[in-house]
Amino acid sequence: MRHFLDFERPIAELEGKIEELRHLSTDSGLNIADEVGRLETQANRLLRQSYARLTPWQKVQVARHPERPHCLDYIAGLIDEFVPLAGDRAFGEDAAVIGGIGRFRGRSVMVIGTEKGADTEARVKHNFGMARPEGYRKARRLMLLGERFGLPLLTLVDTAGAYPGVDAEARGQSEAIAGAIETCLGLRVPVVAAIIGEGGSGGAIALAAGNAVLMLEHAIYSVISPEGCASILWRDAAHARDAAEALRLTAQDLARLGVIDRIVPEPLGGAHRLPREAVAALGAAIEEALAPLVGRDGVALRDERRRKFLAIGGAAPAH
């Protein structure tokens, strides 16, 4: 059964009628192709209209859709001969951060991403994509390993934020995140980052300080979740919808503000409807972003990346 969001209920009703008619046609031998075709046209039109005018809060819902492709789906679809690497060499392994070496379109790369998990068991295993300090220290270790061998870095970000638990704080969560950001900004290899779902707070930017920052059309990227913002400003998480409006967390807002470099279009109805097409679209965008960076001087890449992030918050770029 497909999972429908609240604002998709009219679409769900139409698609339910289509399925009923198809079963009726199969069982009774009746030819009702014309009626099915009419309903499909109506459903596609409604889907297009709904996704053309999504509010920021609806974008949040789409970005969190349980059937949306996750980090491991993109790795499976885009990275050949992927070899996962584990551990921070200081405390332990953190399954919220996936990292390893593989080939992207024939080129050896280092890949690091945050994985939320696709079902209950996987979500618990990956801690819902919320990394502990050892996850960020693992990321830092792999960044430096990739730099040592001249491997471009590709990152896939999908996290509500770093894990806020007492044990994480006791092991230096803030320092680990800051260290990952510092390392990412200092690499002398090309870095292409992609926000594929949620990009939350420092836990996201720890992996997203790239020469090129891509963002899927219905992903979100913000300093804090709408619920967290509402709890602070309104003292009530029920104001999450208002917070989403104020945070300017959509890809369209962030492109206007110069925080990201490119919006990657999603299939009609979101990446969760056609995951393979979404993976292919991101692969094409990564290839296009990576091509002009490969072969460039490492110091120039590093300095350009630093200037890029230092400029955020200055005068808005002209469009």
Which of 101, 127, 100 has the alpha carbon at shortest distance from 116? 127
Q: What are phi and psi of 164, to 5 degrees?
A: -95, 15
Could you tell me if residue 316 is inside a domain?
A: no
174 and 229 both lie in a single domain: yes
By the 8 A CB rule, do 289 and 212 touch?
A: yes
Q: Give the residue numbers spanning the domain of 49.
A: 6-53
Neighbours of 6 (CB within 10 A): 7
Tell me whether residue 223 is in a domain.
yes
Please identify every stretch of the chain with a pLDDT value under 70, giving residue numbers as ranges. Answer: 1, 24-31, 315-319
Residue 101 DSSP SS3: strand
Name the pTM for this structure: 0.90
- Tell me, what's the pLDDT at 7? 85
Q: Is position 82 within any domain?
A: yes
The three-state DSSP-derived secondary structure of 244-263 is HHHHCCEHHHHHHHCCCCEE
Task: Give CA separation, 285 vs 123, 144, 222, in Å.
Answer: 28, 25, 22
Question: In terms of domains, do 43 and 74 share one?
Answer: no
C-beta of residue 221 within 8 angstroms of C-beta of residue 268: no
Q: Can you tell me the distance from the alpha carbon of 203 to that of 207, in angstroms, rounded to the nearest whole number? A: 8
The closest of 192, 170, 210, 206 to 288, measured between CA atoms, is 192
User: Would residue 315 count as lying in a domain?
Assistant: no
Q: Tell me, yes or no, whether 280 and 142 share the same domain.
A: yes
Cβ 216 vs Cβ 271: under 8 Å: yes
Q: Are 243 and 223 in contact (CB under 8 A)?
A: no
Residues 24 and 47 in one domain: yes
Q: How many domains does the chain have?
A: 2
| Residue 319 lies inside a defined structural domain of this protein | no
Q: What CATH number should be reported for the domain holding residue 294?
A: 3.90.226.10
| 39 and 181 share one domain | no
Distance CA 292, CA 301 (A): 11
Residues 142 and 25 in one domain: no
Output the pLDDT for position 187: 97
Q: Are residues 65 and 39 in the same domain?
A: no
Same domain for 34 and 64? no
- φ, ψ (nearest 5 deg) of residue 82: -70, 130
Q: Are 95 and 142 within one domain?
A: yes
Give yes or no: residues 137 and 27 share one domain: no
Residues 6+ apart with CB under 8 A from 216: 194, 195, 196, 197, 251, 263, 264, 266, 271, 278, 282
